[in-house]
Structure 1
Amino acid sequence: MNIKPLIANLDVFTNNPFLNTETHTYSYADLKKEVLRQLNYLKENEVAQHSTVFIQGDFSLSSIALFLALYQNDNVIALNTAANEQEMANKIAVAQAQYLIDTETAQIIRYPMSTQENPLMESLKACGHAGLILFSSGTTSEPKAMLHDLSRLVESYQHKRPRRLSIFLFLLFDHIGGINTLLNILSIGGTATIARIKSPDVVASLIEKYRITVLPTSPTFLNLMLISNVFIHYDLGALRMITYGTEPMPESLLVTLRAYLPHVKFLQTFGTSETGIMNTDSLSSDSLFMRFQEGDTEYRIVDGELWLRSGTQIMGYLNYSMDNFTKDGWFKTGDLVEINADGYLKILGRSKEIINVGGEKVYPAEVESVLMQHPQVKDCKAYGEQNGLTGQFVAAEVVLDADYGETSNDVLRAIRQFCREHMDNYKVPIRLKIVEAIRYSSRYKKLLIAS
């Protein structure tokens, strides 16, 4: 058997710790043993090379080993962490999966082979490469299925110098950010840490216990950590870098985080399921401006929208048109950006989330940044509501400090007045709603609120 470089790396790092859980630490030797066991499992169950295998479950030693075994076997791997049965059924159908393996139970289910294979799959198999299918949300409708050339994606992580970094594997297994973190760890011989429950207290306790140095996460989760006071209750002194992405960071939140963690470097990251994760540099830990490092990534800004073209972008959608791609390969991200004189970019927000007040654009993140400066606001979500005169007006949900000690109407009036003093009138929320908590997805990203 011709062992692929990523698998061969496991012998290079054999004595390094690979994975910390809440109760165990596993070495790279343990991972290699589990990969060989999974390869034998695939052989015993006659899982054919190049067939499509649907993995159900989040990160664990066995799921990571299965992923590597399928990669070694040149399979197409479809990933899913959601437990919703209808969503699973939708994704299995779109992927034309021939096998489902539940990593919790090790159960394998076979499906009949499709009579007509997708041309993209045929093209991938003709190259003899492994594949990766990532999905958009598909709870009630057919999800977008994005096909990556996994062999090419893995190759982009090779030739990195070994580094004994301890990195929290926070983002989900079926998220491009989670795959990016995993491949980075494997390529440098680093140590991953996972948690079954990603509450602020559990995450902070594991950072303290295992002296974790890098935390990739989202602004929403960082704010939940603030609300839970974990920066006070736990020793997070080992942290050296926090990378954040998936949604815009409110500027005032970054300022507060920096006050609690002055020794930590904050790095804005950017990527999409379609293009992969880009290598970025932040202007500084205090700044929301970033730039893309030289390499396989090109970018351009068209009418304020960021377009990307990369060497790790998808082969295509299995079930959708390529309308978001130009004929010459540029992906229209839907993210609106600002660029400064030195070429650094600032992500302002998604074009579909922009609030249009009488022709004036309002970005939810800038409203949230002001709201979160108010001493009685712990969390918030700004969004647009329909209005017959102006098209839309700004509304917001707010989570208040439990000890605000005034009637809710008095507090809301004070918050509105605070907003008027800190931003233009058309950006001030007309409607404020007090809620117990802001709704967010399993990826710790604020959920859209329907207008």
Structure 2
Amino acid sequence: MDISTLLSQAACKWPERIALHEAASQTTLTFAQLDRALSGVGQALDHLQVLPGARVALLADASVDYLLADYGCMATGRVRVPLDPALSADELVAQLQDAGAALLLFSEAYADVAQGLGVRALALQAVTQGVADDNVARPAQSPQALASLNYTGGTTGTPKAVMHRHASLCAVLQNIVMGRGAAVGDVLLNVRPLWPIAAVAVLAHVLSGGQVVLGGRFDGKTFIAQLTEYRVAFSSLVPTQLLRLLRETGSAPADLPLFKSLDVGAAALTGEVLEGSCSLFAERIGVLYGMTEAPWSCYLSPAQMAAVRAGGGSGEGVVGRPLFSAAIRIHQPDANGLGEILLGGPQLMSGYWQLDALSAKTLDNGWLRSGDLGRIDSDGLLRVLGRCKDIIRSGGKSVQPGEVEQHLMSHPGVQDVHVFGLADLEWGEQVCAAVVLDGSQPLSAQQLMDHCRAGLSRYKVPRRVYFIDELPRSHYGKVQKNRLLAALGVQP
């Protein structure tokens, strides 16, 4: 199967139904109009002599034009290369050169940036506003043809692009459609950036016969009102957005009779944010697990989350069971069943672009090494408990940062915390903690160390405690350690 065929089939099933609606411009496309527009993108690229197989980069915020360019590239044999607009010019240049991009398509907001990147660049509308020649058929693509290059870790140095072919993206789409369970006509509100893989989750909703509303950038003050206005059934946020929403609205249950699920991914929901979210959305919280290399591999439905919580579990770290085409296993589990999570299935990437050694190391006999630590509980649910590389080796013993973080978070004066290791000649690594206080009481480093000594083994107690106003996090809610260390003024 391929992206072009799936989109054509959707247009045949629901030609007059609304597929996309953009709130800011009031642009609306039916399924038939969407399919015709995607063919138009391909024909525009033909006229520009951007041939099938060429990499086409996208630098834009979420919009109908973005999706037309994104899906149009894949449906007509080009390779989409979505870029993060937050990257510096040097980082963008490195990714464009690494991809060998034949063309960069940009929105007006990034026109000045795009023109200085040293690659052929055109406004999105140059390929999305043309009229398709209906006499020119849009051929199906080979399932093994490359469809997407998704750059990860853009701020950490050498570009690294995940390769997805039509076959793997179709497996991802199948997992989402079956996991989410949307009905024809259900509305999904998108307020997230569409790079690197979110556009695929949006496409899955379209292929379910649903309507996607592009609501602009997330705003905690207006999000609940948008859910009501557009009669929304599904939406998705990252934990940082959820935290902002709770600060703006509080956690009193919202009146959303048509709402089915708010899906949260990328970083595990913890403590206060999980409790507040389940209250605000009346237990309609779903959790997805995957990564750019293996999107939507596990899913915890709202019903499953509610059952976990009703049974006395907190839900922290629980990410559900494998979706239809996915498989999971724990590599070399310890006595508690804890080990590295391996992911399998047709939704896996085919490798990293032009990085054969890294591809072979990450894809081990058909299983993707996630780098995440986890265990499968007795009920079959996967629980993610940290990153393998974050394990701290101190005095010959292993310390899981998550355990120390949970203990520090149990202190009533602590709002946020990140535990990490720093090199030490005597111990190998020292356990260190960066702590954000909630302002309710004065606290010293010694008091927090004493709090840890009361409940943790001695070797797990932080030897250094740093106070910081806010932890630097990515859009996906992950603490950016390089920025944190720079803010603390310490060397790694």
- TM, length-normalised to structure 1: 0.82
Measured in 1, the distance between the counterparts of 2:248 and 2:469 equals: 14
Q: Which of 161, 169, 188 does residue 153 from structure 1 map onto?
A: 169
Matches within 5 A, 1:23-422: 24=26, 26-28=28-30, 31-32=34-35, 34-35=37-38, 37-82=40-85, 83-104=87-108, 110=120, 129-139=145-155, 141-154=157-170, 157=173, 162-176=183-197, 178-231=198-251, 239-251=259-271, 253-258=273-278, 260-261=279-280, 263-281=282-300, 283-285=304-306, 286=309, 287=315, 288-293=317-322, 295-303=324-332, 304-320=339-355, 321=357, 322-326=359-363, 328-402=365-439, 404=440, 406-409=441-444, 412=445, 414-422=447-455
Measured in 1, the distance between the counterparts of 2:240 and 2:405 equals: 12
The CA deviation at 1:23 is: 6.2
Give, as a single letter, the amino acid of the residue that structure 2 aligns with 1:15. Answer: R
Using a 3 Å threshold, how does the CA distance of structure 1 residues 234 and 340 change in structure 2: closer, same or farther? closer
Give, as a single letter, the amino acid of the residue that structure 1 aligns with 2:157. Answer: S
Measured in 1, the distance between the counterparts of 2:47 and 2:62 equals: 24
Give, as a single letter, the amino acid of the residue that structure 2 aligns with 1:361. Answer: S
Measured in 2, the distance between the counterparts of 1:393 and 1:330 equals: 33
Give, as a single letter, the amino acid of the residue that structure 2 aligns with 1:339. Answer: I
Measured in 2, the distance between the counterparts of 1:64 and 1:268 equals: 25
**Contact 2:146 2:163 (8 Å CA) reproduced:** no
The CA deviation at 1:204 is: 4.3
Name the SS of the counterpart of 2:423 in structure 1: strand
Give, as a single letter, the amino acid of the residue that structure 2 aligns with 1:271. Answer: G
**Contact 1:380 1:397 (8 Å CA) reproduced:** yes
* Cα deviation digits, residues 399-451 of structure 1 (max 9, x gap): 3334x2x5453xx5554444444544443433333322221113332212454
Name the SS of the counterpart of 1:374 in structure 2: coil
Name the SS of the counterpart of 2:148 in structure 1: strand
Using a 3 Å threshold, how does the CA distance of structure 1 residues 430 and 249 change in structure 2: closer, same or farther? farther
Structure 1 range deviating more: 24-33 or 211-220 = 24-33
Give, as a single letter, the amino acid of the residue that structure 1 aligns with 2:460. Answer: K
Give the aligned length: 431
Using a 3 Å threshold, how does the CA distance of structure 1 residues 43 and 345 change in structure 2: closer, same or farther? same
Name the SS of the counterpart of 1:200 in structure 2: coil
- TM, length-normalised to structure 2: 0.76
The CA deviation at 1:3 is: 6.2
Structure 1 range deviating more: 371-380 or 295-304 = 371-380
Using a 3 Å threshold, how does the CA distance of structure 1 residues 85 and 310 change in structure 2: closer, same or farther? same
Structure 1 range deviating more: 305-314 or 387-396 = 387-396
Q: Which runs of 4+ in 1 moved over 6 A?
A: 105-108, 125-128
Measured in 2, the distance between the counterparts of 1:290 and 1:326 equals: 22
Structure 1 range deviating more: 298-307 or 186-195 = 186-195
**2:471 aligned partner:** 438
Name the SS of the counterpart of 2:360 in structure 1: coil
Determine what percentage of the aligned residue pairs are the same residue.
22
